[in-house]
């Protein structure tokens, strides 16, 4: 849990990177200094910047440049790599399709995961099987991102060696069966800027903690949108600092550390008129790893086990599916309200006007009966398929309307989607 920090520490990790995987690294004074700084950052803020990371600045900038080029493309071009259950939830999501804590996020994104072969984890991993979908335009998108992923994986692996030492364990703690075959995730994200005379934007990504071990954020220079919540409840801006990545720890490290390190709530609010891009790499445990408090961490908590064992892949798959189930339930409720509002009284006089029918229901709604009927028919099809992708973003705004948020929200979202 974050304490009352007012700024996020900056850590030069170059001494750690220089000595990683060497026998005497645990005795190197430069390494030990980095380890102390990592320990302090993980205990106090759960966030830190890393500099001296060794990834060429030209590559970091080019990754953001091609990201912006992709999001500038027409919608019909972007949806050629559209995400669906058939793609193992890899690919492009339109504005509002990603859900965080039951709410649609105001961003568009490409989701990438470590490729998973058919049957690699049996029925357990079937949901996530597949290969990443890469756009044909920009032409260098795939090669550039794959190079970047490779470097991010290695950087995260070495930082985790430092965190292992900070917890009091051997540097290889998070190698091998724990995270040696990391089920990494990368999200390539675009956040719309302020429109017109708006003073405040919608939340681009709701407040949350990350699932895994360590997150590395490559964010736009000069656009300050990432916010971190301290213990006092204040939102601290994680400003972009050239030459650094923003790093934060995740839920699985909380379990392995037995609560010595806890992830910190964070969100994205883009109050700039400029479109913001962010490329976020999530270093995760192995997909089938059983995560439970480490013995040397339990010793530091008087032997008390604070967190129960969890299999990472189950944690990853269950959380989104639970949210999806909740949204389907809300959609069904929204459908019922639409039906009640307009044609529940099927025995009424056929010449009765729509306005008269509305007056009898005491339900406000901004659309004609024919439009609502079309919406319900589409919902029926999508609910039967178990897929929400083709009806977003307005499916979620129907859900919001069904729990008494103003119908105007629904109207705007449907026609803007």
Q: What is the pLDDT of residues 59-113, one digit of tens each?
A: 999 999 999 999 999 999 999 999 998 999 999 998 877 666 556 667 899 999 9
pLDDT surpassing 70 at residue 379 = no
In a domain, 2, yes or no: no
CA dihedral for 34, 225, 150, 129, sign (positive or negative) = positive
- Using only C-alpha atoms, the chain has a radius of gyration, in whole angstroms, of 24
**Please, are residues 11 and 50 in contact by the beta-carbon 8 Å criterion?**
yes
In a domain, 402, yes or no: yes
What is the domain count for the chain?
2
How confident is residue 270, by pLDDT bands cut at 50, 70 and 90? Answer: confident
**Most confidently modeled range among 26-40, 80-94, 256-270, 342-356:** 26-40
Pairing of strands 185-191, 226-229: unpaired
| Whether residue 266 is found in the same domain as residue 361 | no
DSSP state of 228: E
Predicted confidence at residue 136, as pLDDT, reads: 97
| Whether residue 331 is found in the same domain as residue 266 | no
| Whether residue 197 is found in the same domain as residue 332 | no
Which residues make Cβ contacts (< 8 Å) with residue 12, sequence separation at least 6? 34, 50, 51, 52
| Whether residue 292 is found in the same domain as residue 184 | yes
| Whether residue 121 is found in the same domain as residue 153 | yes
> How far is CA 214 from each of CA 148, 157, 185, 283, rounded to the nearest angstrom?
16, 9, 11, 5
| Whether residue 109 is found in the same domain as residue 208 | yes
Q: pTM above the 0.85 mark?
A: no
Least confident of 85-89, 234-238, 314-318, 379-383: 379-383
In a domain, 316, yes or no: no
| Whether residue 331 is found in the same domain as residue 289 | no
Predicted confidence at residue 22, as pLDDT, reads: 93
Separation between Cα atoms, residue 267 and residue 351, nearest integer Å: 51
> What is the rounded average pLDDT for all residues in the chain?
81
Predicted confidence at residue 244, as pLDDT, reads: 98
Which of 308, 343, 375 represents a domain boundary (last residue)?
308
Predicted confidence at residue 164, as pLDDT, reads: 98
| Whether residue 265 is found in the same domain as residue 385 | no
In a domain, 313, yes or no: no
Mean pLDDT throughout 355-374?
47
Separation between Cα atoms, residue 319 and residue 185, nearest integer Å: 15
Q: What is the domain extent for residue 394? A: 321-416
CA dihedral for 214, 175, 178, 34, sign (positive or negative) = negative
| Whether residue 295 is found in the same domain as residue 401 | no
Three-state DSSP class for 43? helix
Q: H/E element holding 103?
A: strand 103-104
How confident is residue 124, by pLDDT bands cut at 50, 70 and 90? Answer: confident
Q: Residue 122: how many CB atoms within 10 A of its CB? A: 8
pLDDT surpassing 50 at residue 409 = no
Q: State the alpha helices, DSSP H only, in 93-247.
A: 141-167, 176-179
In a domain, 392, yes or no: yes
In a domain, 154, yes or no: yes
**Please, are residues 11 and 48 in contact by the beta-carbon 8 Å criterion?**
yes
Separation between Cα atoms, residue 126 and residue 115, nearest integer Å: 12
Q: Looking at per-residue confidence, does 189 or 378 come out higher? A: 189
pLDDT surpassing 60 at residue 192 = yes
Strands of 82-153 (E only): list them.
91-93, 99-100, 103-104, 108-113
Predicted confidence at residue 232, as pLDDT, reads: 87
| Whether residue 223 is found in the same domain as residue 326 | no
Q: What share of the chain is helix, strand, coil (3-state, %, to 5)?
A: 45, 15, 40
Which of 248, 283, 308 represents a domain boundary (last residue)?
308
Mean pLDDT throughout 14-29?
95
In a domain, 314, yes or no: no
| Whether residue 168 is found in the same domain as residue 267 | yes
| Whether residue 146 is found in the same domain as residue 267 | yes
Separation between Cα atoms, residue 216 and residue 247, nearest integer Å: 5
Mean pLDDT throughout 173-202?
84
Which of 308, 342, 377 represents a domain boundary (last residue)?
308
In a domain, 4, yes or no: no
């Amino acid at each position: 849990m974050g304490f009352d920090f007012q700024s996020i520490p900056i850590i030069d990790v170059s001494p750690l990177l220089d000595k990683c995987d060497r026998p005497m690294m645990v005795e190197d004074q430069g390494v030990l200094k980095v380890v102390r700084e990592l320990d302090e950052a993980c205990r106090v803020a759960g966030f830190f910047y890393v500099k001296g990371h060794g990834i060429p600045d030209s590559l970091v900038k080019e990754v953001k440049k091609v990201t912006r080029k992709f999001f500038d493309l027409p919608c019909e071009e972007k949806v050629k790599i559209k995400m669906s259950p058939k793609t193992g939830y890899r690919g492009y999501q339109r504005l509002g399709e990603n859900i965080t804590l039951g709410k649609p996020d105001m961003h568009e994104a490409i989701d990438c995961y470590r490729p998973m072969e058919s049957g690699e984890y049996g029925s357990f991993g079937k949901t996530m099987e597949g290969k990443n979908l890469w756009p044909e335009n920009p032409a260098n998108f795939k090669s550039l991102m794959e190079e970047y992923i490779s470097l991010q994986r290695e950087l995260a692996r070495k930082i985790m060696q430092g965190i292992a030492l900070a917890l009091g364990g051997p540097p290889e703690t998070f190698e091998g069966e724990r995270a040696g075959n990391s089920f990494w995730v990368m999200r390539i994200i675009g956040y719309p800027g302020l429109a017109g005379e708006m003073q405040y934007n919608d939340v681009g990504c709701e407040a949350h903690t990350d699932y895994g071990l360590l997150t590395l954020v490559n964010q736009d220079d000069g656009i300050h949108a990432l916010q971190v919540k301290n213990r006092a409840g204040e939102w601290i801006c994680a400003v972009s600092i050239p030459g650094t990545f923003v790093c934060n720890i995740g839920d699985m490290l909380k379990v392995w550390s037995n609560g010595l390190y806890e992830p910190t709530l964070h969100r994205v609010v883009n109050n700039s008129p400029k479109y913001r891009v962010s490329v976020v790499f999530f270093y995760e445990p192995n997909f089938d790893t059983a995560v439970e408090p480490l013995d040397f961490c339990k010793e530091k908590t008087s032997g008390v086990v604070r967190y129960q064992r969890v299999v990472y892949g189950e944690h990853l798959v269950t959380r989104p599916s639970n949210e999806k189930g909740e949204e389907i339930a809300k959609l069904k409720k929204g459908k019922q309200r639409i039906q009640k509002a307009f044609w529940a009284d099927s025995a009424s006089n056929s010449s009765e006007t729509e306005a008269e029918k509305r007056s009898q229901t005491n339900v406000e709604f901004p659309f004609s009966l024919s439009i609502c009927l079309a919406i319900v028919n589409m919902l029926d099809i999508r609910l039967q398929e178990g897929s929400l992708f083709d009806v977003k973003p307005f499916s979620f705004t129907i859900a919001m309307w069904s729990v008494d948020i103003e119908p105007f929200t629904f109207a705007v979202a449907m026609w803007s989607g």
